[in-house]
């Protein structure tokens, strides 16, 4: 591979823009050549120009057929992921794909087969694995500092629900929101989920219930290595984006608390005040997006398999599907039940 | 009621001694008259003498028949609670009884009927309700500071398992250990549990599994008011007695962290050190035992019904029984299923 | 010495009452026999009766002449300390005396000579040395965990000024309030002060300035072992009793933060709230008073010299006098200048 | 002023590189045109090339004479600052100059006169004012949340001393290291220093003493508004770059603690561990350098006077000179004594 990896990006929406900015400014030894987006309007043109994007196009196919392109970042809408991964694989270009790969097992499996057959590298964008705090938790687990993991505990709460139109097509909270937590739990447990019990309620906004979803969720996981997991989610934590991870083990416990906005305490006659925690994922996880891309390109350079892998993407969807079934039938569901 | 309430104590074991010391030194306007214990040996005599216990006897009946005695603290073994509460009720003496009242629903119900009929006051010793931190959490909930409670989250981990002989007769983790958490969850949710899903594993000591119990447990609760609860327990947290309570609501979230042994941080070339959290319940909850007795006697003085009440004791056992059934059958169990 | 040390207390004001309660309830193997106070009114009689004080008298001499009394707690007004210590020494009774011994060097020196000649043990009540946090700091220093102490930093702020009548006769902030910090600095530095520069201002209440005192003070200390000290004081911290100690050394730094009222954090849409720190010394240092008495009586039992010693009391006054001179002349003052 | 401000940078050493990277990647609406450095070697050429520096030259004069250049960043060695500021002023180019302007009062005054006469804007790089934590402290002060500032307390400790060759020509700790703290104290107090007492010692490395400097310093400040300041410095805190600021006032107290490397706590059987604080200024203050440049260019765009101003740079040097004199003569020194 040449000194600089030549990259194309498909999708210049909110998350695509983050990747483009990181490619241009924070990831070394990488050269962004083309950005493709189905909707190239003046605003996007202006943004791309200000940012220094060399080429902005509407037809992603030009990326697949460009012989210079080494790797492709897929940040387009979820329903296009499968096709773009397959096209990239056939064109022998490595892929970083935003999560989730897809919401259907069969399509994911087919795609992973093609990826394998064509021999390209595939990474799926579960960016929270690249948060410095959760990496530190993982190090404590991996180095044996807490012994054998026994309880994985994740708190993951959004500050406010997405628009109801979004929720309608989201696939439900367990695949739209909790998917990050399934991944985090598997990452920290270093083991696969074998059973899930998921429960939940509509406590934030009745309209969410009316479109068939819930806004508050809890789940218990059982892992192959015997560990247990507990997760809680809500679509609305008015105090900010509450993101905590804890792994309890035979020799100790490691806990990642929320990031603070600053280190200041204000002591007054009434009480002591600390400023609110970061508002949402852009504020909290911005750094992780750059770290994740660096990791992807490091793997390409060193010919290593990137993680989270396509298999991780598959497993997370499997747990989500099992959780959906568990919630619907109000009983624990084995992953093997849905893994067909 | 006379200025000083005259008190008898049944049981001078570990917890009985705590109550005796609190009665003699920390609870105002109370007079300890008699302590009864089935095993009065020289060591106990010496302890009672040093402490200033006026009278130490072996036969608890002398307490029930002593016309001066206003109230009785029952701190004897669990299998004697029922009989002593009933005897006290018939003797028209108010009762503070250690938790649990009993492990059988029928006996508890009968006893509560007698208590009601005789018109005595009954308080059950769920001391954690009197921990200053959990009281503060409760105040935040009660005052509306966090809005409507939606998620109650409890972490409750012992530092090391009790002897295997104890575990054999303990009734199982859900009634022996988690009972405190069922109570805490109900106290903070301000609502009754309607369904529980409990799971667990033997991860600490295989011998615990061999005697038919588990040592690691997780549970999800559904409350009548719609709130959800999540609890995790282990018999062995090597870093100390991990006791945290969190209530998430529509307007905020209130979290009680572990007490610290001291406020000191030690910064070195390797890392920053904080001393371990308090070892176990004697270190962590000592203050709560005095506060709980004060609350009991305040209720007697002001002719109010003390809480946690006999009904609280009953509800906690109901949840425990449902949790046992849930774990055994690996399915969520409604309280109404076991409330027969 | 008999199994139980027989004790008399002189002075039943605010601090005397704390000592009496601790003697009766928290210090083992000690027997309070007599309490003497110049003002025995009905309120005090009632309090003593409720508390279980065996004998309440007005003439302290009865304590000195009582052959049963082994040790005397002096908690009367500062101007009586010298005489009572001397009387006790001549009567061969050990003494715990509240701080300060006196405000005049000459009288302190004479008294210490008599104490030495008569061979009694003398402890001076700098209770902060017995705070669990500051003990932990001291352990870190003593055990070498932070290497050689280089900077001792003390923040000591009262929540509100005493009455102006008190300030008038207090001897000034450096001897009335900072005296605790001189002692703490010497205790943590494990070295004597050789020079002090003290400065200050009237920033809280102009009336304090009108009676010749200041209400805000800062000081820099130089210790014999080369370490430097910095102290800041104010008579009014509206957020509570701010008491922090930090020792920086060649291998690390140890910091004792303020005690918390509870461990609870309340997260809301506006900010995160922590309850105020403890209000004043009764709330913050209550435990230290019992620990200090236990230490005194342990020394008597084991025939060890108690600390803080009479010499500590003397050194603290020396630093205070040097600080007063420094402030008045606005220049650093060597202890040797005032140690005459 | 055109949409993009055209910028030249003089000096591409450690701090110059930071500014260049920020100009290229983090500061919007700015265009870096030329970088000048007296030592352009292959390594620097490579770095500039990788970074995307348009033009790399050795003769700074080309920047002054380039009519396109609007503003100049001066990051060359301190002894060149005066000349470059004057040259820039005469060339009517705005200046951001690294701290300190110079170490001699007379030269600073002359330069500020020229700056004023030529009407350019001048900002001096006291970057800590742009740290998010200290900004938050300042907001609390400015908004009145803590009332009238009464005590400003700064802890500022480096992780390890610079090379002895550096120390020899540094001008001494009070102008080399404490200069940041004089600025921070003035910034937070919102008032000028009127008197300083500075003390210190050689506790870290005797060689520092041999070249006539000290490595540990403490100081007390008096401000025009009556507030008091206390500062402590050391060249070697083995646990990292200890940077804390506290402002105590009539209505409360605001404290900025050290930044954490992550939010993780590791609980083990021995103790609880937190990772070390950030190592040094590159880790701790990196963000502040970008914020500071943004602030400078915002002022240019909006025709506002940037701060810290040239006058700030002058005042900080004045306090440093007074502190040096104070240390040498061991007495408090008024700023008016040295402001000649």
Q: What is the CA radius of gyration of chain C?
A: 20
pLDDT of residue C323: 98
Cβ partners under 8 Å of residue C206, min gap 6: none
Judge contact between A197 and A333, C-beta under 8 A. Answer: yes
List pLDDT tens digits, range D233-285.
999 999 999 999 999 999 999 999 999 999 999 999 999 999 999 999 989 99
pTM, two decimal places: 0.96
**Sheet holding B30-36: strands in order across?**
B56-57, B30-36, B5-10, B71-74, B94-98, B122-125
Cβ partners under 8 Å of residue B327, min gap 6: B174, B198, B199, B200, B214, B217
Judge contact between B165 and B207, C-beta under 8 A. Answer: no
Judge contact between D290 and D131, C-beta under 8 A. Answer: no
Residue B234 C-alpha, separation from nearest chain D C-alpha, in angstroms: 15
pLDDT reading at C60 higher than 70: yes
List pLDDT tens digits, range C186-209.
999 999 999 999 999 999 999 999
Query: Could you give the CA distance from residue C149 to residue C222 in angstroms, rounded to a whole number?
Result: 12
β-pair type (D56-57, C242-249): unpaired
Nearest to A276 among C242, C271, C276 (CB): C271
Note whether D243 contacts C: Cβ–Cβ < 8 A: no
List pLDDT tens digits, range D162-205.
999 999 999 999 999 999 999 999 999 999 999 999 999 999 99
Q: Which residues of A touch C239 (CB under 8 A)?
A: 267-269, 272
Residue A170: other Cβ atoms inside 10 A: 16
Helix segments in A91-121, DSSP class H = 105-118
Judge contact between A40 and A57, C-beta under 8 A. Answer: yes
**A332 by DSSP, 3-state: which?**
coil
pLDDT band at A6 (very low <50, low <70, confident <90, very high): very high
Nearest to A25 among D25, D255, D257 (CB): D25
Judge contact between A307 and A190, C-beta under 8 A. Answer: no
**Sheet holding A5-10: strands in order across?**
A56-57, A30-36, A5-10, A71-74, A94-98, A122-125
Q: Which class for C39: exposed (0-12), middle (13-18), buried (19 or more C-beta within 10 A)?
A: exposed
Q: How far is CA C316 from CA A129, C174, C308, in A?
A: 56, 10, 10
Determine, for residues D258 and A256 on separate chains, whether the beta-carbon distance falls below 8 Å. Answer: no
**Per-residue tokens: C288:** 């230290």
Q: Which residues of chain B have pLDDT under 50?
A: 1-2
Residue B238 C-alpha, separation from nearest chain A C-alpha, in angstroms: 6
What average pLDDT does the structure give for chain D? 96
Predicted ipTM of the assembly? 0.95
Query: Could you give the CA distance from residue C73 to residue C125 in angstroms, rounded to a whole number?
Result: 10
pLDDT band at A1 (very low <50, low <70, confident <90, very high): very low
pLDDT band at C128 (very low <50, low <70, confident <90, very high): very high
Note whether D277 contacts B: Cβ–Cβ < 8 A: yes
pLDDT of residue B2: 47
Note whether B239 contacts A: Cβ–Cβ < 8 A: yes
Determine, for residues B271 and D272 on separate chains, whether the beta-carbon distance falls below 8 Å. Answer: no
Judge contact between A251 and D269, C-beta under 8 A. Answer: yes
- Dmax (CA) for chain D in angstroms is 68
**Per-residue tokens: D340:** 């000649």
**Closest D-chain CA to B236:** D269
Determine, for residues D268 and A136 on separate chains, whether the beta-carbon distance falls below 8 Å. Answer: no
Nearest to D197 among C220, C238, C253 (CB): C220
pLDDT of residue D57: 98
Residues 86-105 of D with CB under 8 A from A: none
Instruction: Count H helices and E strands in chain B, helices first.
Output: 13, 15
**Closest B-chain CA to A276:** B252
Query: Could you give the CA distance from residue B113 to residue B94 in angstroms, rounded to a whole number?
Result: 14
Task: Look up residue B227 and give its DSSP letter.
Answer: -
pLDDT of residue B329: 98
Query: Could you give the CA distance from residue D182 to residue A90 in angstroms, rounded to a whole number?
Result: 63
Judge contact between A86 and A114, C-beta under 8 A. Answer: yes
Determine, for residues D238 and B268 on separate chains, whether the beta-carbon distance falls below 8 Å. Answer: yes
Q: Which residues of C touch B137 (CB under 8 A)?
A: 264
Nearest to B151 among A234, A251, A331 (CB): A234
pLDDT band at D2 (very low <50, low <70, confident <90, very high): very low
Mean pLDDT of A175-192: 97
Mean pLDDT of C246-262: 98
Secondary structure E strands in B216-320: 216-223, 228-234, 242-249, 252-256, 264-268, 272-274
Judge contact between D223 and D193, C-beta under 8 A. Answer: yes
pLDDT of residue A13: 94
**Per-residue tokens: A252:** 């100790």
Note whether A148 contacts B: Cβ–Cβ < 8 A: yes
Q: Which residues of B touch A200 (CB under 8 A)?
A: 228
pLDDT reading at A229 higher than 50: yes
Mutate to test the interface with D, among B157, B267, B274, B278 (most CBs of D within 10 A): B267
Cβ partners under 8 Å of residue B101, min gap 6: B81, B82, B85, B108, B111, B124, B310, B313, B314, B317
pLDDT of residue C1: 43
**Per-residue tokens: D172:** 């001494």
Note whether B198 contacts C: Cβ–Cβ < 8 A: no
């Amino acid at each position: 591979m040449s000194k600089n990896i030549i990259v194309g990006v498909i999708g210049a929406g909110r998350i695509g823009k983050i990747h483009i900015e990181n490619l241009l400014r924070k990831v070394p030894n990488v050269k962004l050549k083309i950005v493709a987006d189905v909707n190239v309007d003046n605003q996007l043109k202006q943004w791309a120009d200000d940012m220094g994007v060399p080429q902005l196009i509407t037809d992603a196919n030009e990326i697949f057929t460009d012989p210079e392109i080494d790797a492709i970042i897929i940040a387009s809408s979820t329903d296009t992921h499968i096709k773009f991964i397959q096209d990239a694989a056939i064109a022998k270009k490595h892929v970083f794909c935003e999560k989730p790969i897809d919401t259907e097992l069969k399509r994911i499996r087919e795609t992973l087969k093609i990826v394998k057959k064509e021999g390209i590298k595939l990474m799926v964008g579960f960016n929270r694995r690249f948060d410095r705090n959760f990496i530190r938790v993982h190090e404590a687990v991996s180095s044996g500092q807490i012994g054998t993991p026994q309880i994985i505990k994740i708190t993951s709460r959004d500050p406010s629900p997405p628009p109801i139109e979004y929720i309608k097509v989201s696939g439900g909270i367990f695949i739209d929101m909790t998917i990050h937590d399934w991944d985090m739990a598997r990452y920290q447990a270093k083991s696969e989920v074998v059973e899930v019990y998921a429960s939940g309620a509509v406590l934030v906004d009745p309209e969410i219930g009316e479109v068939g979803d819930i806004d508050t969720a809890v789940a218990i996981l059982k892992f192959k290595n015997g560990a247990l997991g507990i997760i809680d989610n809500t679509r609305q934590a008015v105090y900010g984006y509450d993101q905590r991870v804890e792994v309890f083990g035979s020799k100790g416990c490691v806990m990642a608390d929320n990031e603070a906005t600053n280190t200041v305490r204000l002591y007054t006659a009434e009480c002591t005040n600390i400023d609110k925690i970061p508002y949402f994922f852009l504020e909290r996880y911005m750094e992780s997006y750059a770290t994740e891309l660096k990791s992807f390109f490091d793997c390409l350079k060193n010919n290593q398999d990137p993680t989270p892998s396509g298999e991780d993407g598959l497993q997370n969807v499997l747990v989500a599907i099992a959780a959906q079934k568990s919630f619907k039938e109000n009983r624990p569901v084995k992953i093997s039940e849905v893994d067909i």
